[in-house]
């Protein structure tokens, strides 16, 4: 070892010890008067090295030559500092070196390696190996390790087996795009990278593995949004001989265990909310329940006053923003512009101020009396000083717009504290989703999700109304995971494929191996998968999953540090029986 202590562990009790440290120069502070301090940094902390000219002139001169990020091995004696630093655990002591060995020098880094850096996103990603030296970035990855480790401990104790499923599998055309891998040994054929081990974990249940999990990379060749990566990591689980309640209990347990082990927090039992309620009261299937401000329906109170906008709307809904009656014209315009942005797409925003003096003023005073407005306010639970914001239009669209507005108001009112964690199960998702353009149904979760038993008759009469045994875990408005009870009966699975418009041949071609497996005694089973990237980012209070990934890709799917993807040799293409043909656009 190049050291016998780390830079994070020396204390007053170590005074007078001879120690050897190794690390990076965080900072050289030349105090003048023959004193120079160097902060030496490693993963575990920072220790001050003190160079006194009158004690060792040679080392003092050397120290003044070292630059940021040089790598030093330091032998010296621990002594008490005269001026202590209460902000760091080693702040009571310093090392007076008797010998320094320069292990490596460093060019000046392209940005400062500090908690708050001057480096922009692009340069930090290009030099990610330097960015990772920064405490906040490294701490995210330490957190990630801890969460993955504790997840395994919890599941191992409950008899789950981690089983590795293959990364080179077959392509499944349904849904998002697969990444494919040409096979040299099988000319003209391709592997696909798994979007999830869904079918393989179901096969493991058929195999009697009983309790499976895997922390596993998954791949999706989608156009990237801020919070998407082409490769991402799932905590993937499946259990046999269980029903929905068992899954919710065990994985609520896992979530609570992680909050306790990793953050020391006791999280109360998770409320459960049917999908229908989530849409009705929050306009979202992943409501942020850290604050109220629920959606309130006003349609019946607004009709017949000749305000055609409301009269022609399928839905009129409101939220009540506490204490915002005093919002200025400018602030209200901001909110109107916010909901009218194309991403949100509302036609406009109606407001009602419930003034402190008890009067009610709105942007639709032409059509509604103060008595009308008072009725709206009452239904919204508004009090003096509150502001009511109203959106109208098609039901689902308006609910989603109100959801965005609610989140914006929550942000403005400081109701979305990153240190508060609200966990929620959303249940009873619809089994199917209609693609209005194609005029056919798609599986909302996936084709193996079981319908609620009491809704099975609706599969023929009203497929859109069938509810699934499917559930999502939502924390602070972020979907952390989801799963379902699976179909384990061949006949019901066939029925499901027929509702989804699969011919028997197509079903056989795509999922034949699973349907065949089900002929040999499939047990009832159910599962869930958590997005590890999202879970870590929620725990870390991050806005993006990128910051909890060691080497993330940018929005064009590029790793700018590795400069990947890249062109490959013609000879390699030839071996793969491939030719690149880029179409003009």
Query: Which residues within the stretch 166-195 sit at the binding site for a second copy (CB under 8 A)?
Result: 166-171, 173, 177, 179-193
Strand partners, 529: 236, 482
Binding mask 463-492 for a second copy (x = CB under 8 A): -------------------------xx---
Nearer to a second copy, 348 or 565 (CB): 565
Instruction: Assess 569 for contact with a second copy (CB under 8 A).
Output: yes
Nearer to a second copy, 34 or 166 (CB): 166
Choices 85-93, 97-105, 251-259, 307-315 (CB under 8 A): range interacting with a second copy: 97-105
Contact residue for a second copy among 54, 107, 371, 435 (CB under 8 A):
107
Instruction: Assess 453 for contact with a second copy (CB under 8 A).
Output: no
Instruction: Assess 566 for contact with a second copy (CB under 8 A).
Output: yes
Show Cβ contacts of residue 380 under 8 Å, excluding neighbours closer than 6 positions: 296, 298, 318, 319, 320, 386, 388
Choices 227-235, 278-286, 314-322, 340-348 (CB under 8 A): range interacting with a second copy: 227-235
| Planar angle of CA 424, 429, 434, nearest 5 degrees | 140
Contact 238/524 with Cβ under 8 angstroms? Answer: no
Q: How many residues does the chain have?
A: 585
What is the separation of C-alpha 196 from the centre of its chain, rounded to a whole number of angstroms? 17
Taking residue 560's Cβ as centre, other Cβ atoms within 10 Å add up to 18
Binding mask 491-530 for a second copy (x = CB under 8 A): ----------------------x---xxxxxxxx------
Least distance to a second copy, CB of residue 479, Å: 21
Least distance to a second copy, CB of residue 121, Å: 17
Nearer to a second copy, 151 or 392 (CB): 151
Total of residues contacting a second copy (CB under 8 A): 122
Nearer to a second copy, 45 or 287 (CB): 45
Site for a second copy in 53-92 (CB under 8 A): 69-71, 73
Contact residue for a second copy among 89, 91, 109, 385 (CB under 8 A):
109
Site for a second copy in 228-287 (CB under 8 A): 230-231, 233, 241-243, 246
CA distances to 24, 322, 352, 533, 574 from 184, in Å: 46, 64, 67, 33, 9
Least distance to a second copy, CB of residue 201, Å: 10
Instruction: Find where tokens 């259990």 sit.
Output: 239
Site for a second copy in 141-170 (CB under 8 A): 141-142, 144-145, 148-149, 152, 156, 161-170
Using alpha carbons, select from 285, 540, 290, 294 the residue that is nearest to residue 411.
290
Least distance to a second copy, CB of residue 383, Å: 48
Q: Say how far apart CA 68 and CA 40 lie, in whole Å.
A: 10
Least distance to a second copy, CB of residue 89, Å: 16
Using alpha carbons, select from 167, 237, 173, 157 the residue that is nearest to residue 205.
237
Q: Say how far apart CA 401 and CA 391 lie, in whole Å.
A: 8
Nearer to a second copy, 196 or 336 (CB): 196
Using alpha carbons, select from 239, 105, 235, 250 the residue that is nearest to residue 524.
239
Taking the chain, what is the end-to-end CA distance rounded to the nearest angstrom? 58
Q: Say how far apart CA 502 and CA 447 lie, in whole Å.
A: 10
> Pairing mode, if any, of strands 211-219 and 161-162?
parallel
Instruction: Assess 226 for contact with a second copy (CB under 8 A).
Output: no
Choices 384-392, 438-446, 474-482, 562-570 (CB under 8 A): range interacting with a second copy: 562-570
Q: Say how far apart CA 143 and CA 154 lie, in whole Å.
A: 16
Contact residue for a second copy among 133, 256, 294, 445 (CB under 8 A):
133
Using alpha carbons, select from 523, 528, 530, 529 the residue that is nearest to residue 240.
523
Contact residue for a second copy among 15, 57, 103, 420 (CB under 8 A):
103
Backbone CA torsion sign across 118, 123, 124, 127: negative
Q: What is the largest CA-CA distance in the chain?
A: 93
What is the separation of C-alpha 304 from the centre of its chain, rounded to a whole number of angstroms? 45
Choices 132-140, 436-444, 459-467, 498-506 (CB under 8 A): range interacting with a second copy: 132-140
Contact residue for a second copy among 57, 176, 465, 550 (CB under 8 A):
550
Contact residue for a second copy among 80, 98, 568, 570 (CB under 8 A):
568
Site for a second copy in 20-59 (CB under 8 A): 22-24, 41-44
Site for a second copy in 326-345 (CB under 8 A): none
Least distance to a second copy, CB of residue 2, Å: 4
Least distance to a second copy, CB of residue 576, Å: 7
CA distances to 234, 451, 527 from 202, in Å: 16, 17, 9
**Is the peptide bond prior to 368 cis by the omega test (within 30 degrees of 0)?**
no
Structure tokens at 179: 């990444």
Choices 31-39, 216-224, 293-301, 467-475 (CB under 8 A): range interacting with a second copy: 216-224
Least distance to a second copy, CB of residue 226, Å: 16
Structure tokens at 8: 């994070």
Least distance to a second copy, CB of residue 223, Å: 7
> Pairing mode, if any, of strands 387-393 and 315-321?
antiparallel
């Amino acid at each position: 070892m190049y050291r016998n202590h780390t830079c994070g562990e020396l204390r007053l009790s170590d005074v007078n010890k001879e120690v050897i440290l190794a690390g990076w120069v965080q900072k050289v502070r030349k105090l003048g008067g023959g004193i120079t301090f160097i902060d030496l940094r490693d993963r575990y902390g920072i220790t001050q090295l003190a160079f006194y000219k009158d004690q060792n002139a040679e080392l003092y001169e050397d120290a003044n030559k070292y630059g940021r990020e040089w790598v030093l091995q330091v032998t010296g004696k621990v002594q008490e500092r005269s001026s202590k630093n209460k902000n760091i655990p080693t702040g009571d002591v310093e090392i007076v070196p008797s010998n320094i060995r320069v292990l490596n020098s460093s060019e000046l880094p392209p940005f400062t390696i500090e908690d708050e850096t001057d480096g922009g996103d692009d340069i930090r990603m290009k030099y990610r190996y330097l960015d990772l030296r920064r405490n906040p970035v490294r701490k995210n990855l330490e957190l990630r390790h801890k969460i993955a480790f504790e997840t395994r401990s919890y599941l191992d104790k409950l008899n789950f087996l981690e089983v590795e499923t293959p990364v080179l599998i077959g392509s499944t055309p349904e849904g998002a795009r697969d990444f494919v891998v040409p096979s040299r040994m099988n000319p003209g054929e391709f592997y696909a990278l798994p979007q999830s081990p869904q079918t393989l974990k179901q096969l493991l249940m058929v195999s009697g593995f009983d309790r499976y999990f895997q922390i596993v990379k998954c791949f999706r060749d989608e156009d990237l949004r801020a919070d998407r990566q082409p490769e991402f990591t799932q905590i993937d689980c499946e259990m046999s001989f269980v029903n929905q309640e068992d899954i919710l209990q065990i994985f609520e347990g896992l979530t609570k265990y992680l909050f306790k082990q990793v953050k020391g927090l006791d999280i109360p039992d998770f409320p459960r909310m049917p999908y229908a309620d989530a849409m009705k009261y929050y306009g979202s299937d992943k409501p942020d329940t850290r604050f109220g401000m629920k959606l309130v329906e006003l349609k019946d109170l607004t009709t017949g006053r000749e305000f055609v906008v409301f009269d022609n709307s399928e839905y009129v809904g409101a939220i009540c923003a506490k204490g915002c009656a005093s919002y200025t014209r400018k602030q209200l315009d901001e909110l109107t512009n916010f909901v009218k942005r194309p991403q949100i797409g509302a036609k406009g925003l109606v407001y009602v101020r419930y003034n402190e003096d008890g009067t009610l003023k709105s942007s639709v005073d032409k059509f509604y009396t103060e008595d009308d407005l008072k009725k709206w306010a009452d239904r919204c639970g508004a009090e003096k000083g509150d502001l009511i914001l109203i959106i109208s239009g098609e039901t689902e669209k308006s609910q989603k717009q109100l959801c965005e507005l609610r989140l914006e108001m929550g942000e403005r009112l400081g109701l979305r504290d990153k240190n508060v964690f609200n966990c929620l199960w959303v249940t009873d998702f619809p089994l199917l989703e209609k693609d209005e353009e194609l005029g056919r149904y798609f599986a909302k979760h996936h084709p193996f999700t079981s319908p609620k038993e009491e809704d099975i008759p609706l599969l023929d009469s009203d497929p859109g109304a069938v509810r699934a045994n499917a559930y999502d875990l939502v924390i602070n408005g972020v979907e952390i995971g989801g799963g379902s009870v699976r179909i384990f009966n061949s006949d019901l699975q066939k029925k499901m494929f027929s509702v989804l418009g699969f011919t028997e041949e197509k079903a056989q071609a795509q999922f034949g191996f699973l349907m065949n497996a089900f002929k040999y005694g499939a047990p009832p089973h159910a599962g869930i998968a958590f997005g590890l990237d999202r879970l870590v980012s929620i725990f870390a209070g991050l806005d993006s999953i990128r910051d909890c990934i060691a080497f993330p890709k940018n929005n064009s799917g590029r790793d700018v540090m590795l400069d990947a993807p890249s062109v490959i040799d013609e000879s390699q293409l030839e071996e793969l029986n491939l030719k690149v043909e880029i179409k003009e656009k």
